[in-house]
């Protein structure tokens, strides 16, 4: 299942923050791609600590947000 990703531009400093609503952690970068790549690292760490089932249980559908081209399972063991 793709994840809903919210992209927040930093108007003062530039760059972007990427996050999945309801899931602790975020990614930051100068570009949207860098922010999403950083988010993947954060999500992979969260999966390692809490387990895939717990993290999956936090995901809520948000059709109004960009959908990821990856799934949580893709991030296991990274």
pLDDT digits (tens, 9 = 90+) for 31-42: 999 999 999 999
| Average pLDDT score over residue span 17-41 | 97
Task: Return the beta strands (E) in the chain as ranges.
Answer: 4-9, 16-19, 27-29, 66-67
- In the predicted model, is pLDDT for residue 20 greater than 80? yes
Q: Say how many domains are in the chain.
A: 1
Pairing of strands 4-9, 16-19: antiparallel
CATH code at position 53: 3.30.160
Residue 62: pLDDT band (50, 70, 90) is very high
Please give the Cα distance from 32 to 4 (Å, whole number).
14
The yes-or-no verdict on residue 64 having pLDDT over 80 is yes
Query: CA 66, 67, 72, 76: dihedral to nearest 10 degrees?
Result: -70
Query: In the prediction, which pLDDT does 8 show?
Result: 98
| Residue span of the structural domain in which 63 resides | 4-75
The pTM for the full model equals 0.93
Mean pLDDT of 17-45: 97
């Amino acid at each position: 299942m793709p994840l809903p990703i919210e992209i927040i531009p930093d108007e003062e400093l530039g760059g972007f923050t990427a996050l999945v609503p309801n899931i602790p952690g975020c990614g930051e970068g100068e570009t949207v791609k860098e922010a999403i790549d950083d988010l993947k690292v954060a999500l992979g760490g969260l999966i390692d600590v809490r387990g895939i089932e717990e993290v999956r249980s936090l995901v809520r559908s948000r059709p109004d947000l960009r959908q990821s081209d990856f799934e949580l399972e893709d991030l296991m063991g990274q």
